[in-house]
């Protein structure tokens, strides 16, 4: 059994780090099945990335967006690979979301940007190879978008609008968004488990507000395998106390700090991720990835989902 540096959908695009590792169960397992992609220089494939959002507090914003991503293997050696990850146009199924200037502008800014990603020998994502080149181009696109949007705002609302859009459309946030999709697709690369085997890992998830990370437990199990495919399931459960601290920080950032006597009466925040992965053992690529993040606070429910499918390879 071996487990990679797992990375799931997350806040901000930083890596998850392994803190502890233990195997569930004591029975003997058959030979491990390794999730290692087959990447040769010049190979290319296309992915369909679907993002799903459902929010009980804002049902009018529910919907899906679909983006085609072209991936090209620039180089490959015994030490690792460099791939080019290029998002295409994004299509929204909800017209209201499509008209949202913040959402639409973020998708527009990433279109056709050629992100070069470093992978190790097992296909695990190490980081971006060309961030110094990409950042100025993204900044130029963002500055143009922000300038055009700000010109449409009433003068008395412009400052508040610029403060908000400066956070949503920052270069760092956009890079994190692009690498989050890649990290989700590549997240289980490097894992090696036998059928029926499960592993639990203590992880620390970076907080969206900086400061202390969010502790969580990540579980992965090899559900089944044939000569053609291997299927895995994952769950991530976040520490309740850390989520309550995050709630307090979010309220403070929004300008509505919560007094201590009221804080103890707040409904607890619950957050968990569930994922399914199908690895094509013959093609040497992940065929399908589905990850759902569910957040509950009192009566409010939110779902953030990712579905990534391999639609073409050559």
Regions of the chain short of the pLDDT cut 50:
7, 10-29
Q: Is residue 6 part of a domain?
A: no
Tens digits of residue pLDDT in 112-158: 999 999 999 999 999 999 999 988 888 887 777 777 777 777 887 77
SS3 for 94?
coil
Strand 17-24 versus strand 115-120 pairing type: unpaired
- The distance of Cα 18 from the centroid of its chain, to the nearest Å, equals 17
Closest-CA residue to 305 (of 189, 128, 127, 180):
180
Spatial separation of the C-alpha atoms in residues 174 and 138, rounded to whole Å:
8
Spatial separation of the C-alpha atoms in residues 217 and 203, rounded to whole Å:
6
Q: Is residue 8 part of a domain?
A: no
**E strand spans, 93-213:** 115-120, 125-128, 192-193, 198-205
Closest-CA residue to 314 (of 49, 115, 73, 34):
73
Spatial separation of the C-alpha atoms in residues 294 and 305, rounded to whole Å:
8
Question: What is the number of domains present in the chain?
Answer: 1
131-151 and 155-168 helices, crossing angle to 10°: 160
Write out the DSSP string of 209-272. Answer: TSSS-EEEEEEEEEEEE-SSEEEEEEEEEE-HHHHHHHHHHHHHHTT-PPPHHHHTTSPPEEEE
With 0-12 / 13-18 / 19 or more C-beta atoms within 10 angstroms meaning exposed / middle / buried, residue 303 is middle
CB 289 within 8 A of CB 306: yes
**Distant-in-sequence, close-in-space partners of 63: CB < 8 Å, separation ≥ 6:** 52, 53, 92, 93, 94, 96, 97
Q: Is residue 127 part of a domain?
A: yes
pTM metric for this prediction: 0.80
- The distance of Cα 245 from the centroid of its chain, to the nearest Å, equals 22
Q: Which tokens in the block code for residue 9?
A: 């959908």
Q: Is residue 11 part of a domain?
A: no
Report pLDDT for 164. 66
Q: Is residue 66 part of a domain?
A: yes
Q: Domain containing 95: what range?
A: 17-313
Report pLDDT for 27. 42
Closest-CA residue to 8 (of 166, 203, 268):
203
CB 254 within 8 A of CB 153: no
Report pLDDT for 88. 94
Element (H, E) at 31: none
Q: Which tokens in the block code for residue 311?
A: 């639609």
Q: Is residue 12 part of a domain?
A: no
Q: Is residue 246 part of a domain?
A: yes
Report pLDDT for 207. 65
CB 49 within 8 A of CB 65: no
Query: What does DSSP assign to residue 64?
Result: E
Length of the chain: 314
Report pLDDT for 226. 95
Q: What is the CATH number of the domain that holds 76?
A: 2.30.230
Q: Is residue 167 part of a domain?
A: yes
């Amino acid at each position: 059994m071996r487990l990679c540096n797992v990375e799931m959908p997350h806040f901000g695009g930083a890596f998850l780090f392994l803190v502890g590792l233990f195997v569930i169960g004591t029975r003997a397992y058959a030979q491990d099945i390794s999730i290692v992609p087959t990447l040769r220089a010049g190979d290319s494939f296309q992915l369909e990335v679907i993002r799903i959002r459902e929010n009980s507090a804002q049902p009018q914003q529910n919907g899906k967006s679909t983006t085609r991503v072209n991936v090209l293997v620039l180089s490959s050696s015994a030490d690792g690979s460099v791939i080019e990850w290029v998002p295409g146009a994004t299509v929204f199924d909800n017209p209201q979301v499509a008209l949202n200037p913040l959402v639409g502008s973020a998708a527009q800014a990433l279109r056709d940007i050629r992100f070069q990603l470093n992978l190790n020998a097992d296909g695990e994502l190490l980081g971006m190879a060309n961030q110094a080149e990409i950042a100025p181009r993204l900044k130029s696109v963002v500055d143009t978008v922000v300038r055009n949007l700000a010109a449409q705002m009433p003068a008395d609302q412009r400052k508040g609008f610029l403060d908000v859009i400066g956070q949503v459309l920052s270069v760092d946030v956009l890079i994190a968004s692009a690498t989050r999709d890649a990290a989700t697709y590549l997240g289980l690369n490097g894992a090696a488990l036998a059928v029926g085997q499960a592993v639990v890992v203590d992880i620390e998830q970076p907080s969206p507000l900086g400061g202390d990370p969010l502790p969580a437990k990540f579980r992965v199990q090899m559900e089944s395998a044939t000569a053609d495919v291997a299927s895995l399931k994952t769950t991530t459960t976040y520490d309740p106390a850390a989520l309550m601290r995050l709630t307090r920080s979010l309220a403070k950032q929004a300008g509505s700090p919560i007094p201590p006597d009221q804080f103890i009466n707040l409904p607890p925040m619950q957050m968990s991720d569930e994922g399914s992965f199908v690895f094509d053992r013959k093609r040497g690529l992940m065929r399908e990835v589905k990850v759902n993040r569910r957040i509950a606070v009192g009566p409010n429910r939110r779902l953030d989902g990712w579905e990534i499918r391999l639609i073409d390879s050559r």
